Amino acid sequence: MTRPLLRMNPRPRLPALALAACLLAPALAAAQPSTADGAPALKARTCSVEGLMDSIRRGLHSNSEAYKTYLRTLLRESAVKLPLAELQAAFEREQDPALVEHLAAALVARTERGLEPAAMQAVAKRALDDPNPGLRAATVRALRRTGALEHTGDLYQRLVRDASPEVRMEAATNLVEDNLHVYGGHDGPAADSAVAAAATSSDPKVTAHILGQLMTGEISTGSAHKIEQLLHNDSVEVRAAASAALGGVPAAEAPSARASLVSLYYDESDPTVRKSILQSIARLGYASAVPELQRLRSVDPSLGSEIDSWIQILNKNPQDWGLILREKQKQQAR
Amino acid sequence: MIPEPIHRPAPPRTKGRTRFVVTALGTMALLAAVALLSRGFGKDSGQPKTRQAPELARLARFAPSGTDETDRQGKTADDKASRFDDTTCWDDIENFNEKVTLENFREWAAPLWASKDPLVIEYLKQRLGELIGDDEGRAGQVLGWARSASPAEFKLLMGGLRSSKALPKMAAQLTSLGLDKSLDLGRRAGFLDELQHLPRLEPEALDKLTHLAEDASSGEAGWVTTRAIGRVMKADLTRTGTFEPYLDKLLTIGANSKDEQVRYLALEMELHAEAPLDAKALDRLEKILTTDGSDHVRQVVAHDLSLSEDKPRALDIYAKAFQQETDLCARWAFFRFAARVAGKDALPIMANMAQGDPRFQGIYQEFDRLYASGIVDFGRLWLSLPSDNPFGCLDHHDDP
């Protein structure tokens, strides 16, 4: 469930604690430890690209995940205040994949916060052009859960055709996670971009990875038709994922999607794909799908219990897909 | 799954694109004030129409117009960067990280957390969690410090405990500290707030926590305790299928608390867990629906009822409640949740509602038209309505 915790008239929590923190701060600042007993000589200073990169390079060997996360976050949060030229130069000469990913994330952060688009474009360029597939993959990861879809044109349609399977799958993961976590699964253009990339790729794993997890409730008619065409793909994985994706299409696309799925069910031989089709027929039709499901019962007797399970649930006239899925999972667990 | 816009304010559906996650930490001054970024991208964003342009030129098509150095408002990157707070780099923090122990943590960390540098404070919480590990004794030591720590250090210590693997072992101590009347309410609320991360609550603790949450004088402690019960219910329901004891307590709080926000929260937590409602739960919800003086609470109860599998009973409750109700937004809740519980089978009930209150005639026609067009589920119907806020109610809960 993506719905955030909501409450009426939100009120600040623990205000007394925050107030007292302010009162105590001067006294605590004076409690800085000396180095005589081995305590670190902690001193605040302004961040620099060189200093941060030295720290991160050494920090990569730390056993503390907390420290590594801190350094990565510090670089990204400092990015808007660091000189772009220095940051970009460091990014372009760096050859360690982990550091490339950190520097790329810092550049992306500049564009994300409304500074120059060129920062993210430099990252996109390296994601496409670097001769080292490991570095291309690291750069693609740095674009994850950002607004890259809005700034990089057909980047993802190109990345899903990369020569490296690792790069292709990283790009697919970005599309899935951006749609879900940046746009909440409810943005038509973002979902359409993902469908376009899925349809463009010739890697079945990539296409299946995208379509298998994409929320398609607000895709365009063109995207729905692209997915329908993928129902005839040679790959079982792709056919199963495309079948699943069609189950969530908008109301206007539902009749066409439903007809395509029913047609495929008769021609399909793979049980995984057939199960995926049954689920989407249920999702597109709810209680009105029951007669169709009953007709399909004779096509493949081995799936009779699966169809009966859907019919039993849909006959209760449920109105919410989440509740339907939960009921299905309960039935499977029995 | 509950479609987002059913009960609460939702982002605009067609006017632009709403980004749900800002990748930056919420610590920067500017970004902290902008939790959601609305972008005015058109439908063609991300969809280049031509392929002849060189790569960088194609990428640049999505950039704002202006020179390399300025945007359309003439602002340079430096101008924009000045809106953000400076970050702090700390000399010798690598040495701190390597040599800090649980024993010297408080002394060594003091200058860092006193600096109020949000990034280093977050690091300290995570590092303390690593130092605690899954050791119950170490976690108990940190809880002992927290009893008397300053408020700022208290938050750090509790953050460290929360990030440690030992937290699930600390249920009894956290509950005991949260109920300790010798401590101030703010600190008790801090202890009780950590209960939300536990996998389950024992019956005895649940009784005591419910008693505290029902008591309006508990203030924040009551609110966080109610949230904790709800979140643990969801976790336990997902993990083991257990929800009954928690739901029973939430309904008790929802019926008895004198604090409207606590009642609302108790009844809202049912929605987050989507716990099944039996006949007894329906009875209790119906009673709240017909007796609670808050229209906010009555609306959230209406939402709860839409999870019922006993559709005739739920429709009957909505129909009767609509007649008694005087608040327009509460009536709108009964109207739309009737559709959510029974789909087009609810249309006769909804027609009666519209007959009784002509303000609902127009929206009734919309529901009728959409069902007649072949829409079969509430999610698609909701997205197909011309407006998801026909009576201006969706922002109602956030009114001052």
The per-residue pLDDT for A285 is 97
**Buried-exposed string B120-153: b where 16+ CB fall within 10 A, e elsewhere:** bbbbbbbbbbbbbeeeeebbeebbeebeebbbbb
Determine contact, residues B72/B65, Cβ cutoff 8 Å: yes
- Closest CB from B150, B184, B265 relative to A21: B150
Please name the residue that has the structure tokens 């027609």.
Answer: B351
Task: Answer whether B151 sits within 8 Å of A117, measured CB to CB.
Answer: no
In chain B, residues 293-352 whose CB comes closer than 8 Å to chain A: 296, 307, 309, 311, 339-343, 345
Q: Given pLDDT bands bounded at 50, 70 and 90, which one contains residue A242?
A: very high
Please give chain B's pLDDT, 400 residues, in tens: 333 333 333 323 333 455 654 333 233 323 223 222 222 222 222 222 222 223 333 333 333 334 445 555 667 777 777 788 899 999 999 999 999 999 999 999 999 999 999 999 999 999 999 999 999 999 999 999 999 999 999 999 999 999 999 999 999 999 999 999 999 999 999 999 999 999 999 999 999 999 999 998 999 999 999 999 999 999 999 999 999 999 999 999 999 999 999 999 999 999 999 999 999 999 999 999 999 999 999 999 999 999 999 999 999 999 999 999 999 999 999 999 999 999 999 999 999 999 999 999 999 999 999 999 999 999 999 999 999 899 999 864 443 3
Task: Answer whether A17 sits within 8 Å of B107, measured CB to CB.
Answer: no
Determine contact, residues A179/A219, Cβ cutoff 8 Å: no
Tokens of B198: 């536990």
Cα–Cα dist B248/B1, whole Å? 22
Asked if the model's pLDDT at residue A168 lies above 90, the reply is: yes
Q: Which ipTM was obtained for this model?
A: 0.84
Task: Answer whether A45 sits within 8 Å of B77, measured CB to CB.
Answer: no
User: Which residues, other chains included, contact B78 with Cβ-Cβ below 8 Å and sequence gap of 6+?
Assistant: none
Cα–Cα dist A103/A127, whole Å? 13
Task: Answer whether A189 sits within 8 Å of B17, measured CB to CB.
Answer: yes
Please name the residue that has the structure tokens 């419910």.
Answer: B210
Shortest CA gap B160–chain A (Å): 11
**Buried-exposed string A194-210: b where 16+ CB fall within 10 A, e elsewhere:** bbbbbbbbebbbbbbbb
B97 burial via Cβ count (<10 Å: 0-12, 13-18, 19+): buried
Determine contact, residues B209/B175, Cβ cutoff 8 Å: yes
Determine contact, residues B308/B314, Cβ cutoff 8 Å: yes
Task: Answer whether A150 sits within 8 Å of B119, measured CB to CB.
Answer: no
How would DSSP label each residue in B74-121? Answer: --BHHHHHTTSPPP-EEETHHHHHHH--HHHHHHHHHHHHHTT-HHHH
Q: Report the candidate in B88, B92, B115 with the shortest Cα–Cα distance to residue A58.
A: B92
The per-residue pLDDT for B80 is 75
Backbone angles phi, psi at A44, to 5 degrees: -80, 140
Q: Note the pLDDT tens digit of each residue in A45-54.
A: 999 999 999 9
Please name the residue that has the structure tokens 């410090």.
Answer: B145
Please name the residue that has the structure tokens 């002849």.
Answer: B52
What percentage of chain A has pLDDT greater than the value 90? Answer: 85
- CB pairs < 8 Å spanning A and B: 329
Q: Report the candidate in B197, B278, B192, B288 with the shortest Cα–Cα distance to residue B243.
A: B278
Task: Answer whether A65 sits within 8 Å of B152, measured CB to CB.
Answer: no
Determine contact, residues A40/B106, Cβ cutoff 8 Å: no
Shortest CA gap B265–chain A (Å): 7
User: Which residues, other chains included, contact B50 with Cβ-Cβ below 8 Å and sequence gap of 6+?
Assistant: none
Task: Answer whether A14 sits within 8 Å of B190, measured CB to CB.
Answer: yes
Residues in chain B with CB shorter than 8 Å from the CB of A179 are: none
The per-residue pLDDT for B35 is 26
Question: Which residue type sits at A26?
Answer: P
Q: What does each C-alpha distance from B273 to A209, B103, B227, B253, B394 come to in angstroms? A: 28, 40, 12, 16, 22
Angle at A247 between CA A297 and CA A273, to 5 degrees: 55
The per-residue pLDDT for B12 is 31
Helix (H, G, I), strand (E, B) or coil at B70: strand
The residue with greater pLDDT, B211 or A5, is B211
Q: Report the candidate in B263, B274, B221, B229 with the shortest Cα–Cα distance to residue B249.
A: B229
Cα–Cα dist B328/B309, whole Å? 26
Task: Answer whether A45 sits within 8 Å of B261, measured CB to CB.
Answer: no
Question: Which residue type sits at B46?
Answer: G
Q: What does each C-alpha distance from B316 to A188, A298, B141, B270, B343 come to in angstroms? A: 38, 40, 55, 21, 14
Q: Note the pLDDT tens digit of each residue in A197-228.
A: 999 999 999 999 999 999 999 999 999 999 99
Please name the residue that has the structure tokens 């953000």.
Answer: B84
Q: Note the pLDDT tens digit of each residue in B216-245.
A: 899 999 999 999 999 999 999 999 999 999
Cα–Cα dist A241/A208, whole Å? 5
Report, in angstroms and rounded to the nearest whole number, the Rg of chain B calculated over CA atoms: 26
**Buried-exposed string A289-322: b where 16+ CB fall within 10 A, e elsewhere:** bbebbeebeeebeebeebbebbbebbeebbbbbe
Q: Note the pLDDT tens digit of each residue in A57-98.
A: 999 999 999 999 999 999 999 999 999 999 999 999 999 999
- For residue B392, give the DSSP letter: S
Cα–Cα dist A297/A127, whole Å? 49
Q: State which residue of chain A sits closest to B375, comparing Cα positions.
A: A251
Length of chain A: 334
The per-residue pLDDT for A1 is 32
Asked if the model's pLDDT at residue A137 lies above 80, the reply is: yes
The per-residue pLDDT for B211 is 97
Cα–Cα dist A204/A201, whole Å? 8
- Closest CB from A65, A147, A317 relative to B345: A317
- For residue B397, give the DSSP letter: G
Long-range contacts of A260-268 (CB under 8 A, 24+ apart): A260/A228, A260/A231, A261/A231, A262/A292, A262/A296, A264/A231, A264/A232, A264/A239, A265/A296, A265/A299, A266/A299, A268/A239
Cα–Cα dist B20/A179, whole Å? 10
Q: What does each C-alpha distance from A217 to B90, B379, B380 come to in angstroms? A: 48, 9, 8
- In sequence order, the β-bridge partners of residue B17 are B39
Q: Report the candidate in A112, A111, A102, A21 with the shortest Cα–Cα distance to residue B118.
A: A21
The per-residue pLDDT for B63 is 35
Cβ of residue B36 closer than 8 Å to a chain A Cβ? no
Cα–Cα dist A131/A127, whole Å? 10
Please name the residue that has the structure tokens 């793909």.
Answer: A233
Mutate to test the interface with B, among A46, A77, A88 (most CBs of B within 10 A): A77
B218 burial via Cβ count (<10 Å: 0-12, 13-18, 19+): buried
Q: Report the candidate in B289, B254, B299 with the shortest Cα–Cα distance to residue B393.
A: B299
A95 burial via Cβ count (<10 Å: 0-12, 13-18, 19+): exposed
Q: Report the candidate in A307, A309, A319 with the shortest Cα–Cα distance to residue A277.
A: A307
